[in-house]
Amino acid sequence: MAYEELKLERQLCFKIYALHRQLMAAYRPLLDELGVTYPQYITLLYLWEHEEATVGQLCSALGLDTGTVSPLLKRMEANGLVSKRRLVSDERTVQVSLTERGRILEEEARSIPSYMATCLFGGDEADAETLATVLDRTIRQVSETRKR
């Protein structure tokens, strides 16, 4: 059982952890130009697609909890990327929407995905497909196991 040893290089989890940090480092120079962090970037990805969202929708779409998202949105609001308002129909829920500045950033972000695709695979689409498939299956597997 190769992956059941207490050795660092064998640990699949460590590889994912390492890759995650490599990816963040690869994104950083690109996102610095936009003046956002990675979690802010994926928040924008969601909003570019849906125009607006409640805090709860963002939390579940991004898989983050309110303790992370709430101050993140506060910083994004301070930077003029999004605006927040409470719903009249339910004063508890907060609607987040893009500002003009937040919308404009989408244009500047257009080149990022293709750059990152190259960075990840050097253009090898087959590898991308394989990794995507296995990742999806693994994510599902882990979240299933965690429910019990």
Residues that bind a copy of itself (CB under 8 A): 1, 3-8, 11-23, 25-27, 38, 42, 45-46, 48-49, 61-64, 106, 109-110, 113-114, 116-122, 127-128, 130-132, 134-139, 141-143, 145-146
Q: Give the C-alpha separation, 99 to 135, whole Å.
A: 34
Neighbours of 44 (CB within 10 A): 21
Which of DNA, a copy of itself, none binds 113 (CB below 5-8 Å, type-dependent)? a copy of itself
Residues 78-117 close enough to bind DNA by CB under 7 A: 84, 89-94
- Give yes or no for a contact between 87 and 95, defined as CB atoms under 8 angstroms apart: yes
CB of 60 to a copy of itself, least distance (A): 12
Interface residue with DNA among 5, 10, 14, 68 (CB under 7 A) is 68
* Number of residues counted as binding DNA (CB under 7 A): 33
Residues 6+ apart with CB under 8 A from 72: 39, 40, 43, 64
Distances (CA, A) of 121 to 93, 116, 129, 131: 41, 9, 10, 10
Which of DNA, a copy of itself, none binds 54 (CB below 5-8 Å, type-dependent)? DNA
Q: What angle do CA 34, 104, 67 make, to 5 degrees?
A: 60
Contact positions vs DNA (CB under 7 A): 17, 21, 24-25, 28, 37-40, 54-56, 59, 63-75, 84, 89-94
